[in-house]
Amino acid sequence: MERTYIMLKPDAVKRHLMGEVISRIERKGFNIINMKMITLNEAVLKEHYAHLVEKPFFPEIVEYMVSGPVLAMIVEGNDVVKGMRFLMGATNWLEANPGTIRGDYANSTTENLIHGSDSVENAEIEIKRFFGNI
């Protein structure tokens, strides 16, 4: 069964939307097989967002992502990597369709509630990064 790395970002936690997002994942029929609250630091964000380190908005991402705890999860299911990206909606909140998590709750492209791995290969790397070899 395919696995993906999902992370509810600090805005989702602060806005008390964890339950709402977890419900959507469960109602879709995906299985949450591990979860924990953690607080990130700049070093792990430079790894996790290596593709964005050179962007002018990277400091803003770091400030946001270390501003409070996140909920890290391993989610399992049929085609779950693409399936979760579909439930999440587009990165740019103005392009995220209503009915998606970002489309329904985000009003910023930085503070967009949720991370989901973008490929099966990256999912395994990210699960190792945040959960170790399990």
In the complex, which residues of this chain contact Mg ion (CB under 5 A)? 118
Sheet containing strand 2-8, strands side by side: 31-38, 70-77, 2-8, 114-116
User: Could you confirm whether 115 is annotated as catalytic?
Assistant: yes
Q: How far apart are CA 95 and CA 14, in angstroms?
A: 24
Residue of the chain from 52, 78, 79, 99 that contacts ligand IDP (CB under 6 A): 52
The residue type found at 22 is: I
Q: How far apart are CA 66 and CA 112, in angstroms?
A: 14
**118 makes contact with ligand IDP (CB under 6 A):** yes
Q: 18-27 vs 80-88: helix axis angle to the nearest 10?
A: 130
Give whichever of 22 and 114 is closer to Mg ion, judged by the CB atom.
114
Give whichever of 25 and 126 is closer to Mg ion, judged by the CB atom.
126
x/- mask, ligand IDP, residues 65-104, rule CB under 6 A, reads --------------------------x-------------
Which residues belong to the active site?
Answer: 115
